[in-house]
Chain A
Amino acid sequence: MTTLAVTRATLWKDLRMEWRSKDAINSMLFFALLVVVIFSFAFNPTAEESRHIAGGLMWVAFLFSAVVALNQTWARELRNQVLDAYRVSPAPPNALFLAKAVGNFLFVTILECLMAPLFVVFYELRSVGPFWQLIVIALLGTWALVVNGTFFGALSIRTRNREIMLPLILFPISIPALLGMVDATTLILTGDGSPFFWMKLLAVYDIVFTSVCLLLFESVLNAE
């Protein structure tokens, strides 16, 4: 089977499992909702203040909720030794990785689409800058979180304290991406400047880390 065929089959399987169980998306959504409500209580901002802090709040909420989904992505494959079966099969390891990363990308994007209106309602947001730039930032930023998150999920699944390990190793590496997303979003919402530097930075981050992930995933999958 070619890489593309394996990727498609694995992705389709993951999407179907998620459609039937809705484990990841439900826990992510509820978690993000809680974060939005708690932040709203904690800061109680006016419309003008919230425009300055909403970028940070939004991405921190998405980052925390993405971890919930990323933790489940490989745990699912441990049941019935699916991961071991995958290891002995001749299917290319990177196909598995890409399918998982794209699957997580879709889940987190759905979460963002559902949560964004809620942010608008709770924080009285209105974008001063061009709206399409927010979509570009969201796509680049989500991939940046998800590609490393999927890889580190495969690392943390092999450790003794699985669930807590993922944020511990993912957050330090993700700081530049998070900074880019937050600052670009704030710039667009307030209309204070151009977010193009951050778009370029996020694109570089995506390209560098996607390459590193694809280069190293086989070693990690077969680590004994």
Chain B
Amino acid sequence: MKKIALISIPVVLLLLGISSYLALVVAPTEATMGDVQRIFYIHVPSGWVAGLCFAINFLASIVYLWKRSLSSDALAAASAEVGVIFGAVLLITGPLWARPVWGIWWTWDARLTTTLILWLIYASYLVLRRFASGGQTQVLAAAFAIFGFADVPIVYFSIRWFRTQHPAPVMGGGPDSGLAPPILHVFLTNLAMFTVLGIIFLVLRYQLAMQEQALESAHAQAALRGVSQ
């Protein structure tokens, strides 16, 4: 555990350094928005990592309810926490970009609102984990995770009923969509680095969760021995 942490800290710093350098220096200035556009290199990869973490959380919760394996619960706990952190980055960088470009910090648009509600759901998942007691935590959390994930499409369609202001997906959209090659290269590099960053955080948090479980069961064993003496 300590060894992994010692190796991963310089790796994390290196990745963050390279991605910031690429986004701030290497990438060309965007024609209409100017330098503000550079936040996109952090904003979109954070959103991707958060979405990935929430999907992992959902799958791990299903596996937990099915197999009752402690490792899948540890993975669920780790992915929810990392997802909430990257989601927070997403929600903070979005308004920073929107203020100069749209002229407003926030709008109740489909994508923004869905992201915010998703973030609230997983934050409440963490609150539930924090306050559930003893061995019930895992089952309660896994059940709630399934509710949270089932809610996502419903939230999205309910909000889409309102007007949408968020830029349409840039890639794979219409014939005019797509990024200029230099922007695309930096973006893809950043996306890969953020994914590695997310995975490092996930692995560290996962091992911490496993140790928490081991500690908890050791306490329980000690208490049982104390009773039997």
How far, in angstroms, from A160 to B61 measured CA to CA in the complex? 22
Contacts of B146 in A (CB 8 A): 212, 216
Q: Is the CB of A176 within 8 A of B139?
A: no
Nearest-CB residue, chain A, relative to B155: A176
Q: Is the CB of A224 within 8 A of B154?
A: no
With A169-B127, A220-B139 given, is the CB distance from A204 to B144 under 8 Å?
Answer: no
Flag A77-95 by CB within 8 Å of B: 1 or 0 each.
0000000000000000000
How far, in angstroms, from A197 to B117 measured CA to CA in the complex? 21
How far, in angstroms, from A220 to B128 measured CA to CA in the complex? 14
Residue A168 contacts which of B124, B136, B139 (CB distance < 8 angstroms)?
Answer: B124
Give the shortest distance, in Å, between A148 (CB) and chain B (any CB): 7
Q: Is the CB of A173 within 8 A of B131?
A: no
Q: Is the CB of B117 within 8 A of A172?
A: yes
Main SS class of interface, B: helix
Q: Is the CB of A219 within 8 A of B139?
A: yes
- With most chain B CB atoms within 10 A of its CB, the pick from A173, A179, A219, A220 is A173
Q: Is the CB of B148 within 8 A of A160?
A: no
Q: Is the CB of B128 within 8 A of A155?
A: yes
How far, in angstroms, from A84 to B1 measured CA to CA in the complex? 40
Nearest-CB residue, chain B, relative to A213: B147
How many residues of B are counted as interface, with CB atoms below 8 angstroms from the partner's CB atoms? 30
Kindly identify, within residues 124 to 183 of chain B, every residue whose CB is under 8 Å from any CB belonging to chain A. Answer: 124-125, 127-128, 131-133, 135-136, 139-140, 142-144, 146-148, 150-151, 154-155, 157-159, 161
Contacts of A27 in B (CB 8 A): none
Kindly identify, within residues 69 to 125 of chain B, every residue whose CB is under 8 Å from any CB belonging to chain A. Answer: 117, 120-121, 123-125
Give the shortest distance, in Å, between B133 (CB) and chain A (any CB): 6
Would you call B55 an interface residue if the criterion is a C-beta within 8 Å of the partner chain's C-beta atoms?
A: no
Would you call B56 an interface residue if the criterion is a C-beta within 8 Å of the partner chain's C-beta atoms?
A: no
How far, in angstroms, from A221 to B135 measured CA to CA in the complex? 13
Q: Is the CB of A172 within 8 A of B120?
A: yes
Kindly identify, within residues 137 to 189 of chain A, every residue whose CB is under 8 Å from any CB belonging to chain B. Answer: 148, 151-152, 155, 158-161, 165, 168-169, 171-173, 175-176, 179-180, 183
Give the shortest distance, in Å, between A188 (CB) and chain B (any CB): 16
- With most chain B CB atoms within 10 A of its CB, the pick from A160, A180, A216, A223 is A223
Contacts of B135 in A (CB 8 A): 223-224
Q: Is the CB of B140 within 8 A of A223?
A: yes
How far, in angstroms, from A205 to B152 measured CA to CA in the complex? 11
Contacts of B132 in A (CB 8 A): 155, 158-160
Q: Is the CB of A175 within 8 A of B157?
A: no
Q: Is the CB of A197 within 8 A of B161?
A: yes
With A175-B117, A201-B154, A208-B154 given, is the CB distance from A155 to B140 under 8 Å?
Answer: yes
Q: Is the CB of B154 within 8 A of A216?
A: no
Would you call B203 an interface residue if the criterion is a C-beta within 8 Å of the partner chain's C-beta atoms?
A: no
Contacts of B136 in A (CB 8 A): 158, 223-224
A residues with a Cβ closer than 8 A to B are: 148, 151-152, 155, 158-161, 165, 168-169, 171-173, 175-176, 179-180, 183, 197-198, 201, 204-205, 208-209, 212, 216, 219-220, 223-224
Q: Which 3 A-B pairs have the closest CB atoms?
A: A223-B139, A176-B158, A172-B120
Can you list 28 contacts pairing A with B, beta carbon distance less than 8 Å?
A: A148-B147, A151-B147, A155-B132, A155-B140, A155-B143, A158-B132, A158-B140, A160-B131, A161-B131, A165-B131, A168-B127, A169-B125, A169-B128, A171-B124, A172-B117, A172-B148, A173-B121, A173-B151, A175-B155, A197-B161, A201-B158, A201-B161, A209-B150, A212-B146, A219-B143, A220-B139, A223-B136, A224-B136
